[in-house]
Structure 1
Amino acid sequence: MGISPGEYYISVDHLDVGMYVLLDLGWMEHDFPLNSFKIKNQRQIDQIKAHGLKKIRIDPARSVFVPPAYVEEEPESAEEIEEATGESPEDALERAQREFMLRQYTALAECEKQFAKAAGSLRAINANVHARPQEAFNAAAGLVHDLLDTITGHKDVAIRLMNDKAGSEEMYYHALNVSVLAMMLARELNIPPADNEQLGIGCLFHDIGKTLIPYRVLKADKPSRAEVNLQRQHCEYGATIGAKVDLSSQALAVVVQHHEHVDGSGYPDGLKGEDISPLARIACIVNAYDNHCNPQNPADALTPYEALAHMYAHERKWYDVAYLTVFIRAMGVYPPGAVVKLEDGRIGIVIAANFGTPLRPRVLIYDPSVSKNNAPILDLQQHPELNIKSSIRPSELTAHAYEYLAPRTRVTYFFDTATNPSYPS
């Protein structure tokens, strides 16, 4: 980006309140209303640093005071590096890249282990909800508390794509998907942690009323009007069960209202706008997104990219638009699970993205020269020269690329705080 007379770069370590900064980022790559502004508080400094910039442009004429200009460190010569480390720069880079890949695959395995543990807990909760409701509630509260501790206790939380096996139990992974994404969205909306916890509990139980509806009705390919009406009663049935489980009024509102639409077209009560609980408005968005990605008939599934586009273009009137906009921005144009083509022609599948700063996700690349178990993972945050060109449908892949990338027939998410995304270059 061009630099105007009088402006210069400083180290981000020298940022302070009162400086007038100019961000060399696209407007969708940061959370500020404008690309240039005067820093008002430490939180803004932390937000700027979170983007990983080493230097930042300032306008001294509009700053309260100015620090020294940024000076690039003189790089060591290859000979000096080799003498100090005992390995050539090329060997050091190759080793660092291997270590990065190992961290990624290790983190994925740990994430899937934690997901399986959470799904197992939810399975036990559902098994006990009728016979031992208080025990089920205590277990649900404990699970949500642990999830929320992780979500709120880490500044950088990535949403990770799970494999199909990890999400093989439909009912449990849908509830877990909705809970995780809803709590992540609530964090972005600055919902207080106590309310976020009730949101998580409500989302775990949001479809619990379906346990009182015959399986054949729930799974009917072409349900009759009577069957549709019975399916819709799961909200009221859920309220009855929720009362036995001793859910709070906030959590119960999520159970009852997660199919209400702000334009009054939803059910069971046709509520409008502010009459719908804020937590239920969050749950409604996330529940719809997951249902678009994971419908009863996999042939009807939308890709994550298509689901967000469809919700905004065709269903926007149903949702709290402010919440929907934050959700789309937080998930990114290409959410985990999206099959993408890079500008250099390579294809891959998005496997992880930092929630809230998702425009530079991690992409598993199709490389037929190596086995899929050793497929390269590109962290686009560390490769500013690489950009995603477009999303592509899995059906457009060659047979080998499809088998290699293994696009998910069921899109399941969990969060990851274990990986340091820095990639050697």
Structure 2
Amino acid sequence: MRLVKLPAMSLQPGMFIAELDRPWLETPFALQGFVVRDSNEILYVSRYVDHVYVDADYLGTRQHLSLCTEPTHRPPRERLELKADMQAAKVCFENAAAALDTVFDSLRAGRESDIQSVQEAINPLIKTIFRNQEATAALVRLKESGDYRFEHGVSMAVWAAILGRQIGLPADDLETLALGCALSDVGMTQLPQQLLHHTEALDDSQRRIVRAHPAMGSELLAESSRINFEVLAIVENHHERLDGSGYPRGVEGAAIPLLARIAGLVDTYDAMIKPRPWATARTSHDAVQELIDAKDVLFQGALVEQFIQAIGLFPTGTLVELNSGEVGIVTRQNQTRRLKPEVVVVLDRERERLDAVEILDLANQSPDQERWITRELLPGSFGVDSEEYFL
């Protein structure tokens, strides 16, 4: 796709708007990418943006573009740009995990906890998503694993905020959603310690105990401090499922609050892509495929689709193999061509490390030398540590 920058008032009916001069979430437009139908829509668009980027290859656009306009291709970004944003996000992530650790320790010891400190630590992390969503998402995917109990909650908060932003939730709801996700496993502080450190699959009696943690967490938070009832609903319902097969109450469909439905989806995704004592990590592609298989059964189909739109089929930070045999790391999404992101090629065809990495835009190649992604690889494949390229 060739992008052409135009003043909003220079739009013509039939043109396809692919990008704006500001984030879509900062506008009232319901769709991310749409065809302009008439002059009223042109006036409406121009009220909120100064310039737009239109698809030069879209039929209606091509018919109206004049010869004097120049296609605008995104220049390859230096990975240092992404690296700087990821390092900033890492500080926010670790602050949030530390705040959550402190609260969990207080609750485990029966002391009063400062829930507000978690909110204050989570909010800067949400801001990093607005500044550079891809960098924050890549950090969560690449970060060396610490204590799963705390980092999983913060990771959930990030994935949920990304999905919430994608569907247009207002800022207050994003903060509530992120806090609820961060605290979703707080009930685990009341479980026997041996269960928390269990390294094998649980038996039926152990599973029944663990499945009480959402209700226990909600009750614990309600007793320990004044807290938004929507946060309590997230904590209590994040393991409920659309078809009623979840726990602790087995509620289904619309009876599960929207924010809890989001929390349940991202909880499942993050658990699948992280290594556990009893299970190896899956690739994001495999995890997404499982979510697709569970559409309108365990998870609301529209939320699954929007989550995939938000993170990409091959998310930023994932390790991929190209049809050429080369290995690279996804560094940027292409919002209109999901299978063709920007990739930093780090290994050659013989899987030898390149002296100088190559930045390859899969959506902008000559047809006779086209490369594409054949599969996603697990982190660490062929000895590639993705973190060294970003963190």
- The alignment's TM-score, normalised by the length of structure 2, stands at 0.77
Structure 1 CA distance for aligned equivalents of residues 320 and 49 of structure 2: 31
Q: Is the 8 A contact 1:213 1:231 kept in 2?
A: yes
Shift of 1:150: 4.0
RMSD: 4.3
CA distance, structure 2, for counterparts of residue 210 and residue 34 of structure 1: 45
Contact 1:205 1:255 in 2 (8 A): yes
CA deviations on 1:285-334 (whole Å, 9 max, x unpaired) are 10010111125236432111100001112464111111111011211111
SS at structure 2 position matched to 1:252: helix
Partners of 1:325 and 1:61 in 2: CA distance: 30
Counterpart residue number, 1:181: 159
Q: Does 1:257 align with 2:260?
A: no
| Equivalence map 1:41-190=2 (5 Å) | 41-42=44-45, 49=52, 59=60, 69-71=66-68, 100-129=78-107, 136-152=114-130, 154=131, 158=135, 159-162=137-140, 166-190=144-168
Aligned length: 366
Aligned counterpart, 1:302 = 282
Alignment partner of 1:224 is 2:208: no
Q: Does 1:238 align with 2:235?
A: no
Write the distance in 1 (CA, Å) between the matches of 2:241 and 2:101: 29
Cα distance in 1 for partners of 2:173, 2:100 equals 20
The 1-side partners of 2:313 and 2:161 are apart by 20
Larger radius of gyration: 1
Deviation at 1:171, TM superposition (A): 1.4
Per-residue deviation, 1:273: 0.8
Q: Which one-letter code corresponds to 1:390 in the other structure?
A: T
Gaps of 5+ in 1: 2-8, 74-95, 409-413, 417-425
- Corresponding position of 2:9: 16
Match of 2:249 in 1: 269
Would the aligned equivalents of 1:161 and 1:352 in 2 still touch at CA under 8 Å?
no
Would the aligned equivalents of 2:180 and 2:232 in 1 still touch at CA under 8 Å? yes
For each residue in 1:316-371, what CA deviation from the matched residue of structure 2 results, as whole angstroms up to 9, or x when unmatched? Answer: 41111111110112111112353322344422233554899865544342236999
Structure 2 residue runs without a partner (length 5+): 19-29
Q: Which amino acid aligns with 1:238?
A: G
| C-alpha spacing 1:192/1:163, structure 2 compared with 1 (3 Å) | closer
CA contact (8 A) 2:4 2:56 kept: yes
Match of 1:90 in 2: none
Structure 1 partner of 2:172: 194
One-letter identity of the residue aligned with 2:382? Y
2:321 aligned counterpart, secondary structure? strand
Which residue pairs with 1:391 in the alignment? 375
Kept after mapping to 1: 8 A contact 2:15/2:61: no
In the alignment, does 2:328 pair up with 1:348?
yes
Which 10-residue stretch deviates more, 304-313 or 106-115? 106-115
- The structure-2 alpha-carbon separation of the partners of 1:131 and 1:255, relative to structure 1 and needing over 3 Å to count, comes to same
